[in-house]
Structure 1
Amino acid sequence: MNPDGWLATAGHCVDPQSARDLIFEHAASDYVRQFPDSPEALNPVGAVQWLRKNARVEGETAEQGPEVSITVLYGSGAKVAATMNADVVDFRPIDKGDVALLRVDRRNMPSSELTTDADVSIGTRILAVGYPKSTQDITDPSLDPTYKSGTVSKKSLRQTIPEYEIDAPISDGMSGGPTIELNGKVIGLNSFRPASESQPFNFVAPVAGLAALLAAKGVVPTLGPADLSYRKGLDLYYSGHYTAAIKEFDTALSLSPDFPGLVDLRTSAVNLRQQYGDVSVLRGSNLMWYIGLVVVLAVGGGVTFTVLRSRRQRSAVSPVPDFQPIPHGWSPVGGGTEVAGEHAADAGAPAEHLTAGEPHFCANCGAQHHRTEKFCPNCGEPIVIDASAHGKHEKP
């Protein structure tokens, strides 16, 4: 539940009373094997019940009951990476919520997210995870759990305690394992099944009780750095980005060297990269994005080229006058050169040369322009040297 050594299981898995019941069950089973013709052999359940009422379980002394010790095996497959003693921090018995909080001395452990009751509904698809005793009796030992699929059938109460009814099959040995949604979040812990029920009809203790135990100890259920790298690597792995996935897997392994199944997954990523290579970024939506960008750039370049070409064509066909416009208006009368009025002194004088400090205006449209420009920025016409529309802009 938390990468710093916080674990969870069912309350009855650590309850001393459950240890007594287990001792009685083994005692009855051994008695029946030794005395198959005894009356108890005809009714082994009755034998267990008789022992519960009449027998006493002693510890190291007569006054001491059974001591419960919890050992956690950590690893995957047949490889046991670590064996750790766990302390029972707190628990609730089966009739009070059936959850337990454990602690081991280890950091950066794989952890899981908890869901909320609001996120669980009838029909929610789930997987019940655990180690069925019947399977272990006929297969080689393995730390890889069994996954049983099903759905949430009902939300119910048992003596005011919430429970989830599921149709995934659960058998002896799976108690305390998580029941998870398909997104990996834990909805509860495998709790119990009716003894007389032959069909998948099982009950899960919701994680609300476990969340309460964690909160009481000030522990926040969260994913650790190794989990985050692992999950990021999974996304990259299944999208075909094997090199990036391997990098994330290496990060997770550096934080949690015994992360279950991760070494095999990394090997698979290496093999797939060698066989198929990484997925190119120029695929799917990324490819369409790049194509769209190239098209936009091409269209923009074409527009720019067209504008420049149009301006050059206009400059090529526009006649350059072989005379200089006279800045101050005058009009010849008849064939003479008489100039009327105040401008008579300017008659026959050469056109004025504008200096760098004076304003420059287009002779065609009158727009102001920089003195070094060859074409008018407003109309596009060529700018005639020493020409000015100064007269159009004189103040009265």
Structure 2
Amino acid sequence: MIRVLAVGAAIALAAGAPASPEERAAAITRPAVVSVEVDWHGWVRDPGTGEVFGGPSGYTATTRCSGVVVAEDGYVVTAGHCVDAGPAGGGGALVDLALAELAGYGRVGDETKARAQLATVAVVEGASAGTPVRRDVRVARIVGTSSPELDVAPATVVDLLPPGEGDVALLRIPREQLAAVEVTTEDALPAGTPVLAVGFPAAVGDATDPGTEPTSKNGQISARRAVSGTPHYEISAAAAPGMSGGPVVDMAGRVIGLVSAAPRGETQPFNLVTASSSIWKALRGHPVRAVPSANDRNFVAGLDRYYDGDYPEAVEYFDAVLAATPAHRQAAEYRRLAAEHGDGGPDVVLLLIIGCATLGVGTAVAGTVLWRRRRIADLPTPPHGLALGVHHD
């Protein structure tokens, strides 16, 4: 499903200014960040008393998280609890609705104690005893250039590591040629390493639209931790609710992990991040080619040229990206800025790229542009990229 967005603010770009490491890392990451929304439907049963809460129609809850594309053919990773029916995920959301209903009837004294008790003993299930709750997962991403649109796709849960086993979920959506980011194989980065947490805070999503622009929060690794034996990082970046499952990246724009949890009652910026080794664990055994595509490498190369002040060459790289994916919002915006700041050629090239792909006309022009894309894709890969053909088992 695609619907048009009314975008109230332009992409935050420092046109022509020297890029800070954080700005560059955010620019690399943002095209691949998505919003993950899950609808849950079920009932809550107290096995001690046999009482079933939810009435004839049951409870319906919607939860929101963030995620990131790791392979261009539709593979997305997010936090496992975002799609898990356990207490930290959909089950907890349904239990909260049951508690609110019981509180309305005057059956709850201390809500905190009641929730802890009910969450421990309650069984969250479908319409029949022992059946699972219904779970519908959607992934939303922003597409389009002159008229940005929100593309919402149904998602399949391919693999799930619940909290305590890594807290990672692998999703797939029926989309191709997506912008993706590199996942590092390092999971023992030292304290003090600067990082960015990127995602869609729930409060911002409620006020505007969850797909308009992801938020970036900078911080650093405070310590390495183990949660139920799985490697995590403690970071100082202030990730907000709704950013769970969003990527945490280093200054090269590589994913070092996913936002997992914020300890309850903590007043200072403090979040746990599941390390990249758990992401690779979720990918293992599935046909996921989690390496940057030629298109991703062209985009990063364009950013490098743009921030180096080589605007004409930056335009060529962004043209290559747009020839392959005309709806790449960030490539179009950086292409425009590069053309304005240097001898990058008129924007008619950009219009021809978008027009040919959208309307299916201008075969000769389209062929020229695609030939140009293939040529540019063969240019040297940026130092931080991966060569084609590299894969992880």
TM-score bin (small chain): 0.5 to 0.7
Q: Which residue of 2 aligns with 1:2?
A: 71
1:246: Cα distance to partner? 1.8
Count residues with an aligned counterpart: 273
Question: What are the equivalent positions in structure 2 for 1:1-396 lying under 5 Å apart?
Answer: 1-17=70-86, 18-29=89-100, 32=103, 34=104, 38=106, 40=108, 43-53=110-120, 55-75=122-142, 79-117=148-186, 120-139=189-208, 141-273=210-342
What is the identity percentage for the equivalent residue pairs of Structure 1 and Structure 2? 34
**In 2, Cα distance between the equivalents of 1:212 and 1:63?**
29
Q: Is the 8 A contact 1:165 1:202 kept in 2?
A: yes
1:192: Cα distance to partner? 0.7
Q: Which residue of 2 aligns with 1:391?
A: none
- Unaligned runs of 5+ residues in structure 2 are 1-69, 347-393
1:174: Cα distance to partner? 1.0
Tell me which amino acid in the other structure corresponds to 2:283.
L
**If each structure's strand is expressed as a fraction of its own residues, which one has the higher value?**
2
Going from structure 1 to structure 2, the CA distance change for 1:113 and 1:156 (only over 3 Å counts) comes to same
Q: Is the 8 A contact 1:108 1:225 kept in 2?
A: no
Going from structure 1 to structure 2, the CA distance change for 1:52 and 1:222 (only over 3 Å counts) comes to same
**In 1, Cα distance between the equivalents of 2:107 and 2:129?**
30
1:189: Cα distance to partner? 0.5
**In 1, Cα distance between the equivalents of 2:120 and 2:188?**
43
1:270: Cα distance to partner? 2.3
RMSD (Å) for aligned C-alpha atoms: 2.7
**In 1, Cα distance between the equivalents of 2:187 and 2:81?**
26
Q: Is the 8 A contact 1:130 1:177 kept in 2?
A: yes
Q: Is the 8 A contact 2:248 2:256 kept in 1?
A: yes
Q: Is the 8 A contact 2:187 2:231 kept in 1?
A: no
**In 1, Cα distance between the equivalents of 2:326 and 2:102?**
46
Q: Is the 8 A contact 1:11 1:100 kept in 2?
A: yes
1:76: Cα distance to partner? 5.6
TM, length-normalised to structure 2: 0.63
**If each structure's helix is expressed as a fraction of its own residues, which one has the higher value?**
1
Going from structure 1 to structure 2, the CA distance change for 1:276 and 1:256 (only over 3 Å counts) comes to closer
1:220: Cα distance to partner? 3.2
What whole-Å deviation, never above 9, does each CA across 1:327-371 have from its counterpart, x for those lacking one?
xxxxxxxxxxxxxxxxxxxxxxxxxxxxxxxxxxxxxxxxxxxxx
**In 2, Cα distance between the equivalents of 1:55 and 1:94?**
18
Tell me which amino acid in the other structure corresponds to 2:91.
R
Tell me which amino acid in the other structure corresponds to 1:89.
V
SS in 1 for 2:284: helix
Q: Is the 8 A contact 1:225 1:255 kept in 2?
A: no
Q: Is the 8 A contact 1:109 1:224 kept in 2?
A: no
Q: Runs in 1 of length 4+ with deviation above 6 angstroms?
A: 274-277
Tell me which amino acid in the other structure corresponds to 1:223.
P
SS in 2 for 1:89: strand
Q: Which residue of 2 aligns with 1:300?
A: none
Q: Is the 8 A contact 2:311 2:344 kept in 1?
A: no
* Rg comparison, structure with higher value: 1
**In 1, Cα distance between the equivalents of 2:235 and 2:101?**
33
* Higher RCO structure, 1 or 2 (CA under 8 Å, sep 6+): 2
